[in-house]
Chains A and B, each alone.
Chain A
Amino acid sequence: MDIVLQQLVNGLTLGSVYGLIAIGYTMVYGIIGMINFAHGDVYMVSAYLTAISIALLTFFGVESFPFIIFGALVFTIVITGAYGWVIERVAYRPLRNSSRLSVLISAIGMSLILQNYVQLSQGPNQQGVPTLITGAFRFHIGDGYVQITYMKVLILLIALAGMGILTYIIQKTKLGRMCRATQQDRKMASILGIDTDKVISSVFVIGSAMAALAGVLVTLDYGAFDFYIGFIMGIKAFTAAVLGGIGSLPGAMLGGLILGLSESLFAGLVSSDYKDVFSFSLLVLILIIRPSGLLGKPAVEKV
């Protein structure tokens, strides 16, 4: 019993992280129909930026935890957002009217460039940040107990807040309406006076900012990272996006949570060696039953 609860809690936090990164995949796919394979590496860059921001803040004498975490969030989100903007500008916009395959290859190239650039500038070794927040809640259940670290609680709260704010922006603001209009009919959106290039840029910035949020949270919790962490995290988040229905924003969040929960539960109850096999089998199964994902709309080819 206690292990199920423990893994549920772990799964929720892991899932919320997957969900945050999946948002970037799903929004970009929704608006320009491409899989941004460099997105995982944007997440990786944000882990390095977190370490840099913590180092800078401590250097300038900021020692209180809340300020360090807040400062790291702001610094990392802003700069990672800028990375997203530049990537779209450099690697995707020039190919806007080319075939999907060219853009895909450009994305893979961008992914390799980011990995190698970080490897060269930051070194190939694993790096880390000190643990800032220690301590945990402990709930006794029968003979065992469930332990939730303060950091995990913080991850869950901040991730959910991030998703809430994003949902509000997309549903209720002018920028959100412009994003949805561009997603539903780009040509019509431009005829109505929307600068669709700007909207696409802002989608990349938003997606990267969400990945940065995940990057800061995971780095603060886990501590260690290297230039290669973007790959597996990217694949997992992409899986979450497909699971929820690529193109659907609530789908990405739901897909992330389901993936995180199933992975944690399987790891805790059956075998942690095969947790990835399990989550990918789950993906295959769901796609057989619902090819467009849980909340995705069936694809209608436009004539």
Chain B
Amino acid sequence: MSTLMEFKEVDVHYGPIQALKKVSLSIDEGEIVTMIGANGAGKSTLLMSIFGQPRISSGEIIYRGEDISQKSAHYVASHGLAQSPEGRRIFPSMSVEENLLMGTIPIGMKHADEDMKHMFELFPRLEERRNQRASTMSGGEQQMLAIARALMSRPKLLLLDEPSLGLAPIIVKQIFQILKDVASTGMTIFLVEQNANHALKLADRGYVMVNGEIRLTGTGAELLVNPEVREAYLGGH
């Protein structure tokens, strides 16, 4: 397995506040890696820094052998990285279909019909609402749309920012089941989550982030039984 992406000692500052402190991590091809941590730990900053928003203040982000930390967002997106971001950020005034088409920008429209059909198989709810305005859908449906939109670009690395946020447990379960299906196709996934239980069960490896620093790392199974993780993120059970 070759390394697909690597963070090397990455620092990010928002003015005087340091959001990420010497963060190093790596993601191999075909792996599912998760980053768990509390609200405000710097998880979303980490994902957005891949797209240069914000720019990192030192360190390197190596993707397929190239430092992409100073590249433009659209450059990064057109080289196989797709993100379902924090807060979903679907286009509210567009229909479900149009939102999905926005995912095809990096690869063009040639696979659009085929891929959209595939998305409707993965997320049957989206097919029912294909001509509906995205803003009129429920939170769970919007989350599905954000993931499907990211998949429409046939990414080499799928970045997911808290897909469980604000959703009912039953919907969270559904979404993680779908992610499992996606992962079984060989897709590399980097998942950022507060829901440690679901995330660690899905992931091959995990990192724990506290206040912008990586505190712990290990396989998903190891972290699930780690006393510190259990105490902080799994309610001590």
Q: Give the B-binding residues of A (Cβ under 8 A).
A: 174, 177-178, 180-181, 184-185, 187-196
Which of B85, B105, B109 gathers most chain A CB within 10 Å? B105
- A192 with B72: CB separation less than 8 A: no
* Given pairs A190-B72, A192-B102, 9 additional interface contacts (CB within 8 A): A177-B94, A180-B94, A181-B102, A184-B91, A185-B89, A192-B153, A193-B77, A193-B106, A194-B74
A194:B105 contact, CB within 8 angstroms: yes
The total of interchain contacts (Cβ-Cβ below 8 angstroms) comes to: 59
Give 23 CB contacts A-B under 8 Å: A174-B109, A177-B98, A177-B101, A177-B102, A178-B105, A180-B94, A181-B94, A184-B94, A187-B89, A188-B89, A188-B91, A190-B74, A191-B51, A191-B73, A191-B77, A192-B77, A192-B102, A192-B103, A192-B149, A192-B153, A193-B74, A193-B78, A194-B74
Residues of A within 8 Å of B53, CB to CB, are 187, 190-191
B83 at the interface (CB under 8 A from A): yes
Contacts of B226 in A (CB 8 A): none
How distant is B159 from chain A, measured CB to nearest CB, in Å?
A: 9
The prevalent SS among residues of A at the interface is helix
B186 — which chain A residues lie within 8 A by C-beta?
A: none
Contact B105 A180 (CB under 8 A): no
Q: Quick check: B93 and A180 within 8 Å, CB to CB? A: yes
Tell me if B166 counts as interface (CB < 8 A to partner A): no
Query: Does B92 sit within 8 A of A, measured CB to CB?
Result: yes
Chain B interface (Cβ < 8 Å from any Cβ of A): 51, 53, 72-74, 77-78, 82-83, 85, 89, 91-94, 98, 101-103, 105-106, 109, 149, 153
**CB distance A180 to B51 under 8 Å?**
no
A174 to B109, CA, bound (A): 9
CB-CB under 8 A for A193 and B153, given A177-B102, A180-B91, A185-B91: yes
CB distance from A98 to the nearest CB of B (A): 17
Q: Which partner residue on chain B sits nearest A171 by CB separation?
A: B98
Would you call B51 and A190 a contact (CB within 8 A)? yes
**B77 partner, pick from A181, A185, A190, beta carbons under 8 A:** A190
Smallest beta-carbon distance A243→chain B, Å: 21
Q: Are A192 and B105 in contact (CB under 8 A)?
A: yes
Residues of A within 8 A of B93 (CB): 180, 184
- A188 near B74 with CB under 8 A, answer no
Q: How far, in Å, is A128 (CB) from chain B's closest CB? A: 44
CB distance from B17 to the nearest CB of A (A): 18
Shortest C-beta distance, A287 to chain B (Å), equals 23
The answer for the CA separation of A188 and B86 in the assembled complex, in Å, is 10
Which A residues lie within 8 Å of B98 (CB)?
Answer: 177
Q: Which of B85, B91, B92, B109 contacts A191 (CB 8 A)?
A: B85
Residue on A nearest B135 in the bound complex, by CB: A184
Q: Which 9 A-B pairs have the closest CB atoms?
A: A193-B77, A190-B73, A193-B106, A193-B105, A188-B89, A193-B78, A195-B74, A184-B91, A193-B74
Report the Cα distance A196→B94, complex, angstroms: 18
Least CB distance, B214 to chain A, in whole angstroms: 24
Are A191 and B106 touching (Cβ within 8 A)?
no
B89 CB contacts on chain A under 8 angstroms:
185, 187-188
The interface residues of chain B lying within 8 Å CB-to-CB of A181 are: 91, 94, 102
- A196-B105 contact in complex given A185-B91, A188-B91, C-beta closer than 8 Å: no
**Once the chains are docked, how many angstroms separate the CA of A184 from the CA of B92?**
8
**Complex Cα distance A266/B91, Å?**
42
